[in-house]
Chain A
């Protein structure tokens, strides 16, 4: 007679990231390997959580969109070895493009829930300088021939323009204003030292410049002005709406998180920064991939038995300003609602594709810590080829006074 299976609670113990860099030969990580970024994150996670013996890690999953070269060789396993994890700790790799790390988290959390894992490490990395979007891509001709996918779906910028088409009231002006606020909130979060504690410094190689040290995100532009944004070109469509200023850039970076069964976290003296409530992924028409977060959020809320009004803090990935606005618009949330991306977002700090999901969780955890009156938070992202992913979290610091 098999034992009754009980689903266990899953907690986010810790989340860290490398500073994000600008992709390309002049970026801070131009001569740094992607796997080394993951190693830096892993070692920092263990240093920050010294009561976790490494041999208690039951699984490691690392996400990367383009899994070749320094992002290949089954990163979850290889990076574990390079980081000095015991040989007994297994690992694997994950891909769901932009939501890679998010998926690594939901996957491994599921394992914890059913009792297969006690403690896990999830991560994500993308070095878009070495591995641009679409590297080694070989789309099946049927996708286009049978009109399974709109040709524009393979170009993220065009899907953003499509969103502006679908929702004409989501104007360029609103997108630019939203983007300016993302830059301003990021600058303020830096000034208040709310971002730095979760950054791991990374030694950056320069063969003809010498070693350097990355300690802060490279992409933010605190000097951004509305006039500046208004004057930018629209590369995805002539006289379009999507610019480099109201979209996330091309970036390099890695993130990592420790998750555990809540009971095991307590046993090992680990903190709980967030408690998993529910998650969901959903597909949408690829050519408007930006709306993905809407159905995935609806699904996650339904599974949690919650409504959007129950959510006290939002971390929405800012691949494009218009895509965030589409999400907020659907749920009747104002563009400048204080609950949304309070420390800024990808438009300012960057979006190294597979890594961003855990950055959202790190930001949400920071929010939970400072707002014990908030009970539920949400991390959500749009995903290439038309998907959305959402995770709903509960604040372990919730003091019951937010009702």
Chain B
């Protein structure tokens, strides 16, 4: 240990205290020390461990160790405040950690404090009464036995999603408790699968908990169970961990999974696998020391700062409180919604509106057949939810009755909001807006789901253009959280406030964008992918070009993304951007030919390897100037850096954080890139291409 200052604690740590009380175990097994973790706040501020919390726990351990040594107690138990056991290390101190030595202390102190639970002369019990994540769950793992409440939410070891590993014992304890395959599922796969959490029943069946009890009398029943374990009336038997071939097989499968997801783009998942591999034969001390090293190195990594600090904060905070939005008091209530168009997109929107708002939703379209199809789709989806028990019978009836169709727009007369999702053509949309305005009130907000046309242009012939707002969803509407809300030239504050309030009621993460072509996500993606497709057109082989971005760990390869979005849609967006910024957004003649020939399927699959479909290939001509994968990748990144800088200079969004949030939530770009600007900064791309960084040093990087 060097003479560096002790672990820098965040100045305003909400300290989780460890209170100790001695209780008589029911059933006469003796006395137990019951430790309660409580930070003095309610469930909206779950208990975390910073320096103060670790110190308090260490003091509690001193007390219970002495009592156990003196024979005063037969057991030690740990539990939490109502609804929360403990949810991990206090990450707010991490940006203050200046060097590797300080970073090591984070792991070392946690190990030193919590390992004592497993080294007592008496058995220890964790009564997991509520949310237990990361370091919080690790506290429970150090105990000899664990009970879990059937009402506990949020059980997980999500560290890998944040660019870390379970560094307070989990990477060693979990595989030794439940084997490699289950450990990898919990520590590696779940975090990489949208940070999936465990339900109490799963924690039980995986073997992370020994028994479960209902919330109503969880603590008493847990104490009774502990008493019967101490007295021998209850014997806890756990399946032996297979450290033979099954362990290797699990590691292999784990590595394959991580490679497929990340292609080596971020270190945390790989370090976790290494630790799980080592846990097979290492001692406790060796295992904990290895975690200390891995944790320190990851904490001092840019990927971790981009993931666990920057991205995590964006999706937890900024996503819920959009920046630059008018006062929500200006928002008008939405008690009826009109939807123009009854195609798939419009129908998905109608379903979302009726589910979340539970108000009348009217669909209109060109003819009765289309209207009926749209309404039937929505009602059918409601029936499916009912069949899956996501809605009860009364609610399903209610929602189905709220969705109606009409071939005339008169039905919109009393709507508070009308959204159009018709064909992506300016004249068509202007016509729609005019027809709607003729029927609705002066303050009815007119929303457009356009992805690339100008909202200002769409509204220019309206009597009241100030109520037009861009309201751009992402596909599929039910799943993608991002909503780009565009303020047009004349949009007034009340209409904008109404749009944001509506977006919040729809449980979307809303970002304010200027009415610029393709807003944020589509503009950045099109610029990015445009370089990739240009490289193909120039003669770079398909497999080189399609895998060139793999090292970034994006959710999809570029041509797979184009296929998913739809080649016609992608091409149309490209055309719009080409018109707006011709020197930066080219047109791929190959793409044009394909779209004009009416081809909708771009790719075909040989097993899991994609290639261009033969009938499309016939339409393509390519050059003879191939690039390397490295060149393709750098070119695409340079382009996106250039575009991002221009967008910020134009005021498309207020700050780089908004660009990143859009890419995280609208394109599913990974946490370790921080959206994109942190990655561009740390690789020097920002400075080389635009002359400066996007973010100040330390915001999403170590320095």
Contacts and interface: CB of A to CB of B under 8 A. Distances in A.
Given A201-B26, A201-B223, A206-B21, A211 B79 contact: yes
A210 B21 contact: yes
A84 to B, nearest CB: 6
B21 A215 contact: no
A40 interface: yes
Interface string A79-109: 0001110000000000000000000000000
Contacts of A202: 220
A213 interface: yes
B223 A210 contact: no
Contacts of B252: none
A50 to B, nearest CB: 15
A43 interface: yes
Contact of A211 (B36, B214, B217): B36
B291 interface: no
B40 A211 contact: no
Interface in B208-234: 214, 216-217, 219-220, 223-224
Given A201-B26, A207-B38, A213 B216 contact: no
Contact of A82 (B24, B26, B216): B216
Contacts of A210: 19-21, 34-36, 38
A206 B82 CA distance: 11
A201 B34 contact: no
Contacts of A212: 21, 23, 34
Nearest to B81: A207
Contacts of B21: 206, 209-212
Contacts of A84: 214, 216
A39 interface: yes
How many chain A residues sit at the interface, stated as a range, is 20 to 34
A203 interface: yes
A191 interface: no
A202 B219 CA distance: 9
Interface string A306-323: 000000000000000000
A209 B217 contact: no
Contact of A215 (B26, B35, B214): B26
Contacts of A211: 21, 34, 36, 79, 219
A208 interface: yes
A207 B34 contact: no
A216 B24 CA distance: 10
B34 A40 contact: no
Nearest to B219: A203
A209 B21 CA distance: 7
Interface string B296-339: 00000000000000000000000000000000000000000000
Contacts of B23: 212-213, 215
Contacts of A83: 216
Contacts of A207: 38, 40
A215 B24 contact: yes
Interface in B18-41: 19-21, 23-24, 26, 34-36, 38, 40
B213 to A, nearest CB: 11
A203 B127 CA distance: 13
B152 to A, nearest CB: 16
Contacts of B35: 210
B19 A43 contact: no
Contacts of B82: 205
Give the most central of B216, B217, B220: most A CB within 10 Å.
Answer: B217
Contacts of A206: 19, 21, 36
A35 to B, nearest CB: 11
Contact of A43 (B36, B79, B217): B217
B14 to A, nearest CB: 14
B19 A208 contact: yes
Contacts of B216: 39, 43, 82-84
A205 B17 CA distance: 15
A293 to B, nearest CB: 35
A385 B19 CA distance: 45
A121 to B, nearest CB: 15
Nearest to A193: B28
B220 A213 contact: yes
A193 to B, nearest CB: 10
Contacts of A213: 23-24, 26, 34, 219-220, 223
Nearest to A213: B23
A212 B21 CA distance: 6
A5 to B, nearest CB: 39
Interface string B399-424: 00000000000000000000000000
A201 B223 CA distance: 10
A202 B220 CA distance: 7
A203 to B, nearest CB: 4
A209 B19 contact: yes
Interface in A29-84: 39-40, 43, 82-84
Nearest to A39: B216
Nearest to B36: A210
A43 B224 CA distance: 14
Contacts of A215: 23-24, 26
A43 B214 CA distance: 11
Contacts of A208: 17, 19, 38, 40
Contact of B217 (A39, A205, A216): A39
Contacts of B219: 203, 211, 213
A211 B79 CA distance: 8
Interface string B35-50: 1101010000000000
Nearest to B32: A213
Interface in B161-192: none
Nearest to A83: B216
Contacts of B220: 40, 200-203, 213
Nearest to B79: A211
Contacts of B20: 210
A211 B517 CA distance: 59
A40 B24 CA distance: 17
A212 B33 CA distance: 10
A203 B19 contact: no
Interface in B221-268: 223-224
A190 B365 CA distance: 80
Contacts of B36: 206, 209-211
B226 to A, nearest CB: 11
A216 B26 CA distance: 10
Nearest to B129: A211
Contacts of A216: 24
Interface string A4-48: 000000000000000000000000000000000001100100000
Top 10 closest pairs, chain A to chain B, by CB: A210-B19, A210-B36, A203-B219, A213-B23, A201-B26, A211-B36, A212-B21, A215-B24, A201-B220, A210-B21
6 contacts: A43-B217, A201-B220, A203-B219, A205-B82, A209-B36, A213-B24
Interface of A: 39-40, 43, 82-84, 200-203, 205-213, 215-216
Interface of B: 17, 19-21, 23-24, 26, 34-36, 38, 40, 79, 82, 214, 216-217, 219-220, 223-224
Given A202-B220, A209-B36, A213-B23, 10 more contacts: A40-B217, A84-B216, A201-B220, A206-B36, A208-B19, A209-B19, A209-B21, A210-B19, A210-B34, A213-B220
